[in-house]
A = this chain, B = another copy of it.
């Protein structure tokens, strides 16, 4: 199993837009083959910091997600709302 932690720090005043855009992303991604879990979290101390924590069956499923129409479309829109992004791909230690 693959675990992804994808952290975004948003530009100020972009939080509502980000939440709205990611609703569709979450809904569509959860239907994908090999998606075990895909959830968005907000930092309790920094209102512009959000993280997706994702569980995928394997790397092939994750790669297919990166190539999906919804990821590409919404990813492009979300990219404009961010100050920074940090992605790590993990396996259980």
Contact = CB atoms under 8 A, between A and B. Distances in A.
Interface in A39-55: 39-46, 49-51, 53
A interface, how many residues as a size bin?
A: 20 to 34
A44 B7 contact: no
Interface stretch (A27-35, A63-71, A74-82, A83-91): A83-91
Contacts of A88: 7, 43, 46, 49, 51
A51 B5 contact: yes
B5 A89 contact: no
A43 B89 contact: yes
Interface of A: 2-3, 5, 7, 19, 22, 39-46, 49-51, 53, 88-93
